[in-house]
Amino acid sequence: MGDEEVKLLGVWASPFSKRAEIALKIKGISYEHIDEDLSKKSSELLRYNPIHKKLPVLLHNGKPICESLVILEYIDETWESGPSILPKDPFSRAMARFWAKFIDDKCIAAMWSIRKRSEGQEKAIEELTEHLKTLENELKGKKFFGGDEIGLVDITANVIALWLGVLLELLGIELLTKEKFPRLCEWVDDYLDNSVIKETLPARKKIKEYLSNVLRT
């Protein structure tokens, strides 16, 4: 596989881009990271993801793969030799896909809704609380969602480990606390302490600056 070309069009502040990076690093794949400018879509992005025009895009020997969860499965199936991102048996794989989709469809939607100080904010906080309770329950008896090692759901949940905490701090909302979510908070600690995660996710301070600007606009 020495002649392979692996490139990732991504952006440092995006949890979706970071998912792809985490998966490539877990697999030990060398790749070139092309940091896109969020304020101006590059011609590469428009060429390789004409449907959604969104990051990340994985380019493997010139072939583009889009949508972060699709990319994670592609990485797992292409470089089979490395550590697994999805479990092996079909039922556990289905559960991993179910939870990854739950984070994308439910948790992230609720996260975006709490940022607006409107009438809907309270309802969004309630919804997010329910979703976090669901995740808290799913973590019982496990170190990571994937078991002893980080897997598909943990990679997908990077947004909860880093971005959510910063967002709640900026909004002055006390939610993801050790009293309310002891298991989830332990998971956050273990997750951010993992060597691959540590070297891949941006510094909390940078995310705080970034999200603070987003909230102002």
Q: Which is nearer to a copy of itself, 152 or 176 (CB)?
A: 152
Q: Which is nearer to a copy of itself, 152 or 167 (CB)?
A: 152
For residue 13, give every residue at least 6 positions away whose Cβ sits within 8 Å of its Cβ, in sequence order, or none: 38, 202, 206, 207, 210
Residue 203 beta carbon to a copy of itself: minimum distance, rounded to whole angstroms: 31
Write out the residues near a copy of itself by the rule CB under 8 A.
51, 60, 63, 65-67, 69-71, 73-74, 77-78, 90-91, 93-94, 97-98, 101-102, 134
Residue 129 beta carbon to a copy of itself: minimum distance, rounded to whole angstroms: 15
Largest CA distance in the chain: 56
Q: Which is nearer to a copy of itself, 111 or 207 (CB)?
A: 111
Residue 66 beta carbon to a copy of itself: minimum distance, rounded to whole angstroms: 6
3-state secondary structure of 108: helix
Q: Which is nearer to a copy of itself, 18 or 131 (CB)?
A: 131
Q: Which is nearer to a copy of itself, 18 or 60 (CB)?
A: 60
Dihedral over alpha carbons 30, 35, 41, 47 (to 10 degrees): -20
Residue 195 beta carbon to a copy of itself: minimum distance, rounded to whole angstroms: 27
Distance between CA 115 and CA 195 in Å, rounded? 30
Strand arrangement, sheet containing 6-10: 32-35, 6-10, 57-60, 63-66
Q: Which is nearer to a copy of itself, 102 or 191 (CB)?
A: 102
Residue type, 186: E
Residue 30 beta carbon to a copy of itself: minimum distance, rounded to whole angstroms: 18
Residue 65 beta carbon to a copy of itself: minimum distance, rounded to whole angstroms: 5
**How many of the other CB atoms lie within 10 Å of CB of 160?**
24
Distance between CA 25 and CA 74 in Å, rounded? 14
For residue 81, give every residue at least 6 positions away whose Cβ sits within 8 Å of its Cβ, in sequence order, or none: none
